[in-house]
Chain A
Amino acid sequence: EPEVTQTPSHQVTQMGQEVILRCVPISNHLYFYWYRQILGQKVEFLVSFYNNEISEKSEIFDDQFSVERPDGSNFTLKIRSTKLEDSAMYFCASSESGRNTGELFFGEGSRLTVL
């Protein structure tokens, strides 16, 4: 069964360092997303991406964040200068449809710990 894969599964970094989280969406999906979940809190939307550009982003997704699809398979989230409050589980997701009725397929997540 096709799945969304993410690397690394866990990354520990120092405050102020740059971090890149990687995702390989399901191959025939065209819509990609990043969500995050701070420990014990709700899953929060960060950004959606379609046709090589951001289609929507939340207030959380400030100038420290960027996304890229560097090739035909990877989708990355970069945090330029990490802060303590960026510690969270980051989930990549993809969908075949961009309609609001489409099912999202989530990856297993990348746990980011900022010290």
Chain B
Amino acid sequence: GQNIDQPTEMTATEGAIVQINCTYQTSGFNGLFWYQQHAGEAPTFLSYNVLDGLEEKGRFSSFLSRSKGYSYLLLKELQMKDSASYLCAVPKGLSGGYNKLIFGAGTRLAVHP
């Protein structure tokens, strides 16, 4: 089955850098997603990694190590609007696909001035 662990809460200062870690255990690996979820809103896609290494997208970067079952999301130049939950998720689908995402509990990030 799938098991995903991420810290429950983190705090950081506006303008700083923060790294949110995620460890996972899966039976079969089809990549790893990061989603952002503001309180009371829908998750929105941030990144998808299927190969080892760092993928950079503006202020946000995501890293994957398949051998370690480990990913992190790196947020640079933090802004107040980055205060949200960050959800690590892995797909578990039928052999033909279909997007059944298994989500972690999320890391609630609070950015303060």
Contact = CB atoms under 8 A, between A and B. Distances in A.
B105 A31 contact: no
B45 A104 contact: yes
B93 A100 contact: yes
Interface in A69-95: 91, 93, 95
A101 interface: yes
Interface in A9-34: 31, 33
Which among B87, B89, B101 has the highest number of chain A CB atoms within 10 Å? Answer: B101
A93 B89 CA distance: 15
Interface residues of A, number: 29
Nearest to A50: B98
Nearest to B105: A42
B104 A100 contact: no
A61 B27 CA distance: 22
Interface in A46-69: 48, 50, 55-56, 58
Interface residues of B, number: 28
Contacts of B103: 42-44
B17 interface: no
Contact of A43 (B48, B87, B96): B87
A16 to B, nearest CB: 27
Interface string B74-113: 0000000000000101011110111111111110000000
Contacts of A97: 97, 99
Contacts of A35: 101
Contacts of B10: none
Interface of A: 31, 33, 35, 41-45, 48, 50, 55-56, 58, 91, 93, 95, 97-109
Interface of B: 30-31, 33, 37, 41-45, 48, 50, 87, 89, 91-94, 96-106
